[in-house]
Amino acid sequence: MLNELCNLNGISGREHAVRDYIISHLPSDAEYRIDPLGSLIVYKKGKAEPKNKVMLDAHMDEVGFIITYITDDGYLKFTTVGGIDERVIFGRAVKVGKELIPGVIGGKAIHQTTSEERGKLPSVEDMYIDIGASSKKEALSHVSLGDAVYFDSCYREFGDGFIKAKAIDDRVGCEILLRLINSDLPYSATFCFSVQEEIGTRGAAAAAYSVAPDFAIVVEGTTAADISGVPDEKKVCRLGGGAVVSFMDRGTVYDSELYKKAFEIAEKNGIGCQTKTVVAGGNNASAIHKAAGGIKTLAVSVPCRYIHSGSSVAKKEDIEDALANLRTPIQYNDNKLRVQCFGSFEVFYNNKPVNFDRSKTKELFAYLIDRRGAAATTGELCGILWDEKSADESSKHYLRNLIASLKKSLKVCDAEDVFICKRNYFAVNSEKIECDYYKYLERDAAAVNSYKGEYMAQYSWAEMTLAELEKNR
């Protein structure tokens, strides 16, 4: 399938051949539509309905060229479509227009260049495409201004599981999504085969607003520089190292919990997985994560050498690792209690405030949250809640009522295991809670930015923790 996909031609805005191929390989139970920009949006029902809508994205377009002018002697001037290193252009064989006329990208011969010119790469403006025409009239009989130009390159397998082809970015993502659609999905999902990624992630931006998912996973090829002469820290990622899960690139800071869970899945299932050692590149996530009020987004990529050229190189085992990682759904627990400590203390479940019968019940929970899993005794809790040096029978009785009230509130949220209650031993299971204070201590960027100098503002006993936060700010 990847062989056929890579050999198809489809620069940005000309993706129809790729889209038609994908449609022809959809199972009968898949529902699809084509949006006004040309992106293909597919819905596939799974064994169960997820609590949150999930979208997986791969882009159909590839880098290439477009004809801008034809000279009197029949040569074609052009510009790039997408980011292409000028070093990989000169001398390349190409196919031009609807008829796929063969041509060669050329320029001034080396023996005709000046000494100054020989020290520089020729720019795109100085190059042309030679299709063997002897005049403008002859050239116009085969091509027109605005015609697409594609690298003339065939899919090849070589070495120990290596693949050479054009358009691996992102036909490899298209292949992975197609294989998922044609499998038994554990959960229903929406798949977006987007257009115009290479010229500004335009198709994904429109599709994300239309689909409005809760979570999105971008599947793509990403740059690898694991070649001779490149220091280890600048190799970005390595072929044979498994699927690439990024924490950040030039367009996106990825959701930290999704990032961690992707690696957990890989480790648990023996799937090859790596991250980038350089903040580089970008993809449709840059548009998706900002759409529709904000979408939690992750990228799962296949490492690719010589990306955006006519001869990109990938490895089969990395493709299988990426697919395996995606086959195991990320269990993002949106039902986890979310605790807000910065500002006033608040507790949320399913993004709705948790109801506490009594204000002291809420304060009891707040104090245990503040302790981050460390246990408190009956006497300590009575001292905090009622400013008593020792607990008498009356305060102990009241505390037992508060404990019962707290258990009731947590039971409604299906979060009874958050509260640890033993004889004279009370604590929270901090691993069961999503808390801005806890994330701050882990130096999570979003949590750090959310702290504005206030901590559990309604409780005087919280001032000690506030002082520590300010000290280490």
Instruction: Say how far apart CA 305 and CA 422 lie, in whole Å.
Output: 58
- Give me 260's structure tokens: 């961690």
Q: What is the 3-state secondary structure (H, E, C) of 45-79?
A: CCCECCCCCEEEEEECCECEEEEEEECCCCCEEEE
Q: Beta partners for 389?
A: none
DSSP 183: S
- Give me 234's structure tokens: 């600048």
- Give me 152's structure tokens: 């003339």
Orientation of helix 168-181 relative to helix 316-327, angle to 10°:
40
Instruction: Say how far apart CA 93 and CA 195 lie, in whole Å.
Output: 25
- Give me 33's structure tokens: 């539509």
Alpha-helix runs per DSSP H in 47-167:
115-118, 136-140
- Give me 314's structure tokens: 């990938």
Alpha-helix runs per DSSP H in 66-127:
115-118
- Give me 121's structure tokens: 């790469």
Q: Give which of 203, 212, 284, 148 is closest to 34, Cα–Cα.
A: 203
- Give me 312's structure tokens: 């990109």
Question: φ, ψ for residue 232 (rounded to 5)?
Answer: -55, -40
**Sign, Cα dihedral of 383, 386, 387, 390:** negative
Q: Which residues are catalytic?
A: 197
Stretch (H or E) spanning 94: strand 93-96
Other C-beta atoms within 10 Å of 31: how many?
Answer: 11
Please answer whether residues 55 and 35 qualify as being in contact, where contact means their C-beta atoms are separated by less than 8 angstroms.
Answer: no
**Sign, Cα dihedral of 454, 456, 458, 461:** negative
CB within 8 A of 299, min separation 6: which ones?
217, 218, 219, 220, 222, 244, 245, 246, 249, 252, 254, 283, 285
How do strand 156-158 and strand 215-223 relate by DSSP bridges?
A: unpaired
Alpha-carbon distances of 186 from 49, 133, 327, rounded to whole Å:
9, 56, 8
Burial of 178 (0-12, 13-18, 19+ CB in 10 A): buried
